[in-house]
Structure 1
Amino acid sequence: MASSSLSSRGSGSNWTPRQNKLFEEALAKYDRDTPDRWLNIAREVGGGKTAEEVRRHYEFLEQDVQSIENGQVAIPNYRTTGGSRS
């Protein structure tokens, strides 16, 4: 369940939309082979996040994506408003 404030069930702390954006950007910048990856990402995210919090946040999101890909998350039934135009 990804949300903009992600009071992440698994990561144990609140993440603001801004922190999530910084997190995504830092993930792109620091790949799996980067020494001290989680520490570097924590510094980029700021807000007092520790390397461990950042790593847990990543693991939670990985599990979330896996659940979606495995069909364990129901697709919302969005209703459209208005009619179709030709």
Structure 2
Amino acid sequence: MSSSSWTDRQNRLFEKALAKYDKDKPDYWQNVVQAVGDGKTIDDMKRQFKELVRDVDHIESTGGQNSQYDGGSSSGSGIEQRRNLQ
């Protein structure tokens, strides 16, 4: 599977890991990588995070029309505090 493709399971693991780990710790992204697994890299995590933030911004500004993020389960909680990770 391409590292750019994300399954629903991977997206759920990704979102849980974002909420679970302390973003201020130096090993934050490594912990997220370990939680998601499946050959994903830190760069994959950062790209997915940017996509998630873009989508949350879009949802907030349009009421959710034409969402681009493939995660599906995110309600945006916790994203506000993590936007500075980009």
Report the TM range for the smaller structure's normalisation. 0.5 to 0.7
After superposition, residues 22-37 of structure 1 pair within 5 angstroms as: 22-37=13-28
Shift of 1:25: 1.4
Alignment partner for residue 48 of structure 1, among 19, 32, 39? 39
Query: What one-letter code is carried by the residue in structure 2 that aligns with 1:54?
Result: M
Alignment partner for residue 5 of structure 2, among 11, 14, 18? 14
Report which of the two structures shows the higher radius of gyration computed on alpha carbons. 1
SS at 2:62's partner residue? coil
CA RMSD of the aligned region, Å? 2.0
Query: What one-letter code is carried by the residue in structure 1 that aligns with 2:8?
Result: P
Residue number in structure 2 paired with 1:62: 53
The TM-score, its normalising length taken from structure 1, stands at 0.64
Considering fraction of residues, name the structure with more helix.
Answer: 2
> How many Å separate the matches in 2 of 1:13 and 1:42?
14
The TM-score, its normalising length taken from structure 2, stands at 0.64
Aligned residues with identical type, % of pairs: 48
* Runs of 4+ in structure 1 over 2 Å off: 72-75
The unaligned stretches of length 5 or more in structure 1 are 1-11, 76-86
> How many Å separate the matches in 1 of 2:25 and 2:15?
15
